[in-house]
């Protein structure tokens, strides 16, 4: 069960770094935070789950989206 979550995490992280569009990467990173929060809940760590969900899917995504909207979105290869 935990291994399944970890495999999903690896796949999502790999997608977020190998895609050309930076905004897609940010959304994938936010999904990584959500899956991590679920994983923490399964591992009997509710405090860490609350913090990770609020931080990863909330503030961190806002900061990333600000940085990308202010500058450029597509990674010029």
Partner 1 sequence: MTPRRVFSALWSILPLVISLVAVGAILIPIFLESTPWPVEARNHLEDQGVAESGAQNLVSAVYLGYRAFDTLGETIVLLVAVSGTIGIIARAKGALAKGFDREDKGSPVPAVALAAGTTSLSAPPPRLRRAKTRTDLLEVVTGKLGPVVLVFGFYVMLYGHLSPGGGFQGGVVIASGIVFLALGGKEGASTRLTEAGVLARLEAMAFFFLVLAAFLGMFMGSGFFTNFLAGVGLPSVGFIILLNIIIGLKVGAGIGFMGIAMLSRVEGAKGEEVNHD
Partner 2 sequence: MIERIALFVLFLLGFAVIVGHKNVVKKIFGLNIINNAAVILFVLEGAKVGNQAPILTTGAAVAGAAAGSAGGSGGAVAGAVAQMSGEVTPVALAPAAGTVDSACAAIAEASGAGPGAAAGLTGDLAGNVAEGANSLANLGAFSVVDPVPQALMLTAIVIGVCITALALALAFRLYKATGTFDIDEMYRRIHHEP
**Which of partner 2, partner 1, none has residue 10 at its interface (CB below 5 to 8 Å by kind)?**
partner 2
Contact flag: residue 7 with partner 1 (CB under 8 A): no
Q: What span, in angstroms and rounded, lies between the C-alpha atoms of 51 and 76? A: 34
Crossing angle of the two packed helices 22-42 and 46-54, in degrees rounded to 10: 170
Contacts of 31 (CB under 8 A, 6+ apart): 12
Contact flag: residue 47 with partner 1 (CB under 8 A): yes
Contact flag: residue 21 with partner 1 (CB under 8 A): no
Question: Which residues contribute to the site for partner 1 (CB under 8 A)?
Answer: 46-47, 49-51, 54-55, 58-59, 62-63, 66, 69-73
């Amino acid at each position: 069960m935990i291994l399944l979550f970890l495999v999903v995490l690896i796949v999502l992280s790999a997608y977020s770094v190998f895609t050309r569009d930076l905004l897609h990467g940010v959304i994938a990173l936010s999904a990584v935070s959500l899956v991590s929060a679920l994983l923490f809940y399964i591992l009997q760590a509710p405090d860490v789950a609350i913090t990770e969900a609020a931080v990863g899917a909330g503030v961190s995504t806002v900061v990333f989206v600000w940085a990308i909207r202010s500058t450029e979105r597509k990674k010029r290869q």
